Amino acid sequence: MRLIILDRDGVINFDSESFIKSPREWIPIPGSLEAIARLNQAGYRVVVATNQSGVARGKFDMVTLNAIHQKMHDSAQKAGGEIDAIFFCPHAADEDCDCRKPKAGMLNAIARRLNVSLKGVPAVGDSLRDLQAGFVVGCVPYLVLTGKGEKTLEKGGLPPGTQTFDNLAAVVDHLLLMPTAAGSDAGASKESRKKQ
């Protein structure tokens, strides 16, 4: 099974400093839904792992979050794609849960649910915490420059082997040229040196 783990805000859809609080505010980044469809066509299962502390902060409730995710599912399907599952952390940072990225609880839950190892699985995010959560469970970290990505790249401190691309569509272009889902360490280090 080929698997890829995507962050949501800033990777699939435009991010907002004031949170995505309604389905109307959920707007896909051009090319992202088509990229998910291309992944599916290549045999990838697409799973989303997203911190949604807006729930704990009272910015929106679970009914609204579910409606946002339903819009994301529907939009992906209209583009010919399928999101296999969405895992989310509804907690605020001060709740010290184990599921909020950069902790790995959410990714470990994905591994348990799908009964797979995450070693070599691409994990795509726009923030350092996305990359760190993936890296500690053996994922290959991919930074996109959409969302918070440019600021994340400027700050540095990325996990070893992080590869940087303009957007999700560019990550998918890269993955679909690779011979295996896990990819090649040589290619990863070369790309990492080129981009950082």
Q: Is 130 a catalytic residue?
A: no
Query: Of residues 7, 15, 126, 130, which has the active-site annotation?
Result: 7
Query: Of residues 9, 15, 126, 130, which has the active-site annotation?
Result: 9
The phi-psi region of residue 151 (left if phi > 0; otherwise alpha if psi is between -120 and 50; otherwise beta) is: alpha
Q: Which long-range contacts (CB under 8 A, 24 or more apart) does 59-68 make?
A: 59/18, 59/19, 59/21, 60/19, 60/21, 60/22, 62/90, 64/21, 64/22, 64/23, 65/90, 67/22, 67/23, 68/20, 68/22, 68/23, 68/26
Nearest-angstrom CA–CA distance, 147 and 140: 20
What tokens does 119 get? 């070693």
Nearest-angstrom CA–CA distance, 168 and 34: 10
Return the closest-CA partner of residue 124 out of 166, 185, 90, 80: 166
Nearest-angstrom CA–CA distance, 148 and 110: 24
* Side chain identity at residue 161, one-letter code: G
Q: Is 9 a catalytic residue?
A: yes
Beta bridge partners of 87: 49
Residues identified as active-site: 7, 9
